[in-house]
Structure 1
């Protein structure tokens, strides 16, 4: 079985979080910005816990200050994803980092990102869609601005809206206004929940935000009734095992609940979250799951069919890509 050769679908990827550390160091040097605190002795991103991870993430992102920076970043990220066999990816894009939440500035950044995505598709055969993401620890008012940016640019490239950031701040329902705005614009909805805030945050996301997908969601396994609800409603989880292990949520992939959730009928998918931060890649994630649970090629094909079925893309794109992973629409 060649895991590298399998065509893959990724639904949970933060664009800035996928920035190779050498790329960020190069941009920082060009701008004479000192963010050496973000890196360890080996040159990789350095953090000891989730709070420090957020600090390092935002330090790295701070050097990305122009649409051209994001054009270059998108090309680098999509090239790396394509090398892992990814044929479709949804990247989280934050207007807070791309123009400070101003719609006009956001349009300029988005145009640069989209242009890079078109180039990557021609070069590498990878499709990208953008999921505009508000940042939870920036607060509900900032989330409203991000949602407005999403609604104003919704279409065939910006197809979703979600929320990332520190899951321990506030409640999911505090952000309902922004999610309602995005829903009215026809965007697919997802939110980070069930990672650090526990199973109750998944319930909040379902009840208060009415999302179709959950980012992470793995702590739902602690509540059997919630697991049954996810399975019955076919709520897709964007699971990132390597991220969860790297941040200490679980001791190892073998201890991770993805297999238990899948066995219970919950639609699960596999993503890398912020791959260079967590020293991972999608093929490495598959290899770890194969080693831990004995999953084979058909298991991964099923996971990718599930992911594509839950993707925030149009029917034509889904049908075309489904043929590449060997499934029916």
Structure 2
């Protein structure tokens, strides 16, 4: 078997706060005199399930505790820098990190400065990626389902203003998909669409195939965050495949949040057999203690994919990405070289 760490990958589903190292969260909390939930020190990683509202509340409380320590420009830059280094160490050549700037805006003077800090640090990372071994970084903006639709439109307009090479590459919709009506966010996504942004809402994880249908119709996505439950209706899965909508599949997250009871229940093979475009993702490794490399190891050890199939998953992740053409071309050649090399003893 070939070393999965050496396989070039694109990581397309990683949230800003959820990307953090747990030690960085502890360090920032200590610097600020902030008290974290005990489970972020003892008994880590936390046992989570969002199968019901109470479970989601516990997940959100821990997530908010970590987000609360990211106060100010240097902390925000640290998150971007460490996420890129950690992904690079696992073989990621390209990382798309998703940011909702409203949480960090109060500490840096607004949502525009917050996004400009993230974009500036991403540019700094990209300028030295070859020397540092980090992944190159693209930035996606996201609105929250738990906030008013008018805020989503405001964020979409900001994303439009910051769009372009070296700027914001896509626009998403995150948080508990059981909250709010997807159609409430249609206008925000039309603003982002008019700017030529990649449309990457979450759907089809906590809700089933009907939510996928609604999202396809209302938001016209290029990718779906998760989308795994489209398998519950073969007609919906066929519609996803025929529309060319890529799925950001996060097996470790699905199990941690109680969508599936075990990794072998995640329908990765069903999606592959249906012809879906798939990009494996880690979602929130801070709370799930499961990174991108773990998802590829799951594909091999749990779902029985051979190296040719795993290489195709890696290619698929680049095809679904917003990575620059030179990054994609180089990665495809490196994936071919990985597959052509003899397996490790």
- Using the size of structure 2 for normalisation, the TM-score is 0.89
The residue aligned with 1:71 is 77
Aligned counterparts of 2:208 and 2:130: Cα–Cα separation in 1: 38
**Contact 1:38 1:46 survives alignment (8 Å):** no
Q: 1:109 and 1:261, CA in 2 relative to 1: closer, same or farther beyond 3 A?
A: closer
Q: 1:108 and 1:276, CA in 2 relative to 1: closer, same or farther beyond 3 A?
A: closer
Higher RCO by CA contacts (8 Å cutoff, separation 6 or greater): 2
Of 115, 132, 136, 2:124 maps to 115
Deviation at 1:105, TM superposition (A): 4.5
**Contact 2:252 2:295 survives alignment (8 Å):** yes
Q: 1:140 and 1:118, CA in 2 relative to 1: closer, same or farther beyond 3 A?
A: farther
Runs ≥4 in structure 1, deviation > 6 angstroms? Answer: none
**Contact 1:90 1:129 survives alignment (8 Å):** yes
Aligned counterparts of 2:275 and 2:35: Cα–Cα separation in 1: 48
Deviation at 1:40, TM superposition (A): 5.1
1:267 aligns with 2:277: yes
- Using the size of structure 1 for normalisation, the TM-score is 0.93
The residue aligned with 2:218 is 208
Of 134, 149, 173, 1:163 maps to 173
Instruction: Give the 5 Å matches for 1:1-329.
Output: 1=1, 2-37=3-38, 39=40, 41-45=42-46, 47-48=48-49, 49-99=55-105, 102-120=111-129, 122-157=131-166, 158-326=168-336
Gapped runs of 5+ residues in structure 2? 50-54, 338-345
Aligned counterparts of 1:214 and 1:140: Cα–Cα separation in 2: 19
Aligned counterparts of 1:26 and 1:151: Cα–Cα separation in 2: 35
- Cα-to-partner distance string for 1:171-227 (whole Å, 9 max, x where unaligned): 221111111111111111111000112111111111011111101001111111101
**Contact 2:160 2:195 survives alignment (8 Å):** yes
- Cα-to-partner distance string for 1:281-301 (whole Å, 9 max, x where unaligned): 222222222122211221111
Deviation at 1:42, TM superposition (A): 3.1
Aligned counterparts of 1:121 and 1:55: Cα–Cα separation in 2: 37
Gapped runs of 5+ residues in structure 1? none
Aligned counterparts of 2:240 and 2:63: Cα–Cα separation in 1: 31
Deviation at 1:321, TM superposition (A): 2.6
**Contact 2:84 2:134 survives alignment (8 Å):** no
Aligned counterparts of 2:15 and 2:129: Cα–Cα separation in 1: 17
Q: 1:247 and 1:226, CA in 2 relative to 1: closer, same or farther beyond 3 A?
A: same
**Contact 1:134 1:143 survives alignment (8 Å):** yes
Deviation at 1:104, TM superposition (A): 4.2
Aligned counterparts of 2:295 and 2:113: Cα–Cα separation in 1: 38
What SS does the corresponding residue of 1:4 show, helix, strand or coil? helix
- Cα-to-partner distance string for 1:116-167 (whole Å, 9 max, x where unaligned): 4444454115211011111111221221222122111111132111111111
Q: 1:294 and 1:50, CA in 2 relative to 1: closer, same or farther beyond 3 A?
A: same
Aligned counterparts of 2:192 and 2:226: Cα–Cα separation in 1: 21
**Contact 1:94 1:132 survives alignment (8 Å):** yes
Aligned counterparts of 1:50 and 1:117: Cα–Cα separation in 2: 35
Deviation at 1:45, TM superposition (A): 4.8
**Contact 2:89 2:134 survives alignment (8 Å):** no
Aligned counterparts of 2:83 and 2:159: Cα–Cα separation in 1: 22
RMSD of equivalent CA atoms:
1.9
Aligned counterparts of 2:296 and 2:172: Cα–Cα separation in 1: 25
